[in-house]
Structure 1
């Protein structure tokens, strides 16, 4: 009888270990953040008159920059997505923090944009017409001989 009880205990332990591997991590949809996470505390620290160095200390390096005339802007993008286990990604929320600087590299203003502020840009698929023949690389080389 004690041998039978020991076998049952071992079988129960093996079954418990096997079932422990079956957790809810096999979810079909995962949520994650792409890019920079913009904390509210960091956003509140950015005020007009501050230097670019202080903005870098608070927010880190920008993901994108823009310079137009005497003004420049730094952009921090946060995108919250859901991704299926089949590889399909769906954007749930996007936040863009834009920090604007004057020519003295001091903060002039900041703005927070969301998905509703964006505009869809259609990509033109037409080719620009060219005069003459369209030749491949090899045709161009062969015609030079």
Structure 2
């Protein structure tokens, strides 16, 4: 005579609950195939309106935060804030919708002299050179180096 336990009645119910939990974990809250997001700094109109000529570099950092990039040319410097709006498909394809670059220019006394906003239309496409200059021994494998030494 087989031994029956009370838990034997709950095994199908537990298996169904486990299956339902696993299937719920596979679904996502977003059913869209394309999601939109912002990369980098989100440039708000109110923050841009607060930046005026004559303000200090510290005040700009306080209002806009740390810049993503800086540069110095002679006695002038600039802060760069970049905002990129992209769409990404569920398959991993990323498309750039817009790119905005806010540049704050400073004089030698670290005071704002001007600000500029650039978009995708203001950019220039630069072709990257893919050719390489070969150097001695770079294209040889380990085995080739050993055989050449004999």
Does 2:110 match 1:105? yes
Aligned partner of 1:120 in structure 2 is 125
Whole-angstrom CA distance in 2 between matches of 1:23 and 1:81: 20
Coordinate RMSD, CA, aligned: 2.6
Q: Superposed, which structure 2 residues align to 1:13-28 within 5 Å?
A: 25-28=30-33
Mark the runs of 5 or more structure 2 residues left unpaired by the alignment. Answer: 1-22
Pairing 1:48–2:58 present = no
TM-score when normalising by structure 2: 0.73
SS in 2 for 1:26: coil
Structure 1 gaps, min length 5: 1-17
The alpha-carbon deviation at position 137 of structure 1 amounts to 8.2
Counterpart among 76, 94, 113 of residue 71 in structure 1: 76
In structure 1, what is the Cα distance between the partners aligned to 2:49 and 2:112? 13
Report the count of equivalent residues.
122
Find the residue that maps to 2:30 and give its secondary structure: helix
Query: Normalising to structure 1: TM-score of the pair?
Result: 0.75
* Paired residue secondary structure (2:48): helix
Shift of 1:129: 5.4
Q: Deviation above 2 Å: which 4+ runs of structure 1?
A: 21-24, 133-140
TM-superposed CA distance for 1:25, in Å, is: 1.4
Deviation at 1:127, TM superposition (A): 1.7
**2:88 aligned residue (62, 83, 88):** 83
